[in-house]
Amino acid sequence: METSTTVLDVRNLSAGYAGNQVLDGVSFTMARGEVVTLLGRNGAGKSTTLKCLMGFIAEKTGSIAFEGQPIARCLPEQIARLGMAYCPEERGIFSQLSVRENLLLPPVLRAGGLSLDEVYALFPNLRERSTSQGTKLSGGEQQMLAIGRILRTGAKTLLLDEPSEGLAPVIVKLIARTVLELKRRGFTILLVEQNLRFATELADRHVVMETGRVVDMLTKGDMHRDAGRVEAYLGMGHA
């Protein structure tokens, strides 16, 4: 149900690649300021859901309302102008450019975009590495750069695909702290995550996907009371 605080309302979204259906009637909503994770096994359709929201997949049916506007037929740049930003799993850092140049790449599309100094305040490591080339960065620094870069656009709704993937625990903690800080500042954040601990720590709600469908929805409280429920979907704890 759409309310004044609903930022995202996805209804009956189906999508695929070259005729192969991957999403099969996905529906969920997000309220302003919420952190929600998409959980599910490999291939469940989590990344495809993010790509659909950002307008990268044309082959889709169903409706997506963002900030009250229908966006299912919009191009990525139109969706970006409405205040959504996407951080892909592969992070998309330009290897030949420095940290600073990577940060300066995206246009500031809306008021409220972070300045370079504000990005550096959030990620002090990036300030130290500002002249380093993309290729010289650690995985953690690349992830910080990928997040910092989208913050410059002024987007207040962020789609983050597996931000903790392949990172050392100490860096995962730092990314978690940053997500919580962004939530504190009023950002709405949709995360794809495989790292259940990271997801549990951060999210207000969890949307569980299986073979292109939403099969369950858990609140933070549900997750604490009944961790087994979600582990069963992910095929954990049954070894």
Binding site for ligand ATP (CB under 6 A): 17, 22, 40, 42-48, 192
H helical segments located in the chain: 46-53, 76-81, 99-104, 116-122, 124-128, 139-151, 169-184, 196-202, 220-225, 227-234
**Would you give the end-to-end CA distance of the chain in angstroms?**
39
> Shortest Cβ distance from residue 40 to ligand ATP (Å)?
5
> Shortest Cβ distance from residue 120 to ligand ATP (Å)?
31
Cβ distance to ligand ATP smaller for residue 99 or 159: 159
Distance between CA atoms of residues 218 and 13, nearest Å: 20
Task: Indicate the pairing of strand 60-66 with strand 6-17.
Answer: antiparallel
Distance between CA atoms of residues 88 and 110, nearest Å: 21
Residue that has been written with the tokens 């997040």 in this structure: 147
CB atoms near residue 214 (< 10 Å): 22
> Shortest Cβ distance from residue 76 to ligand ATP (Å)?
15
> Shortest Cβ distance from residue 209 to ligand ATP (Å)?
6
> Shortest Cβ distance from residue 130 to ligand ATP (Å)?
31
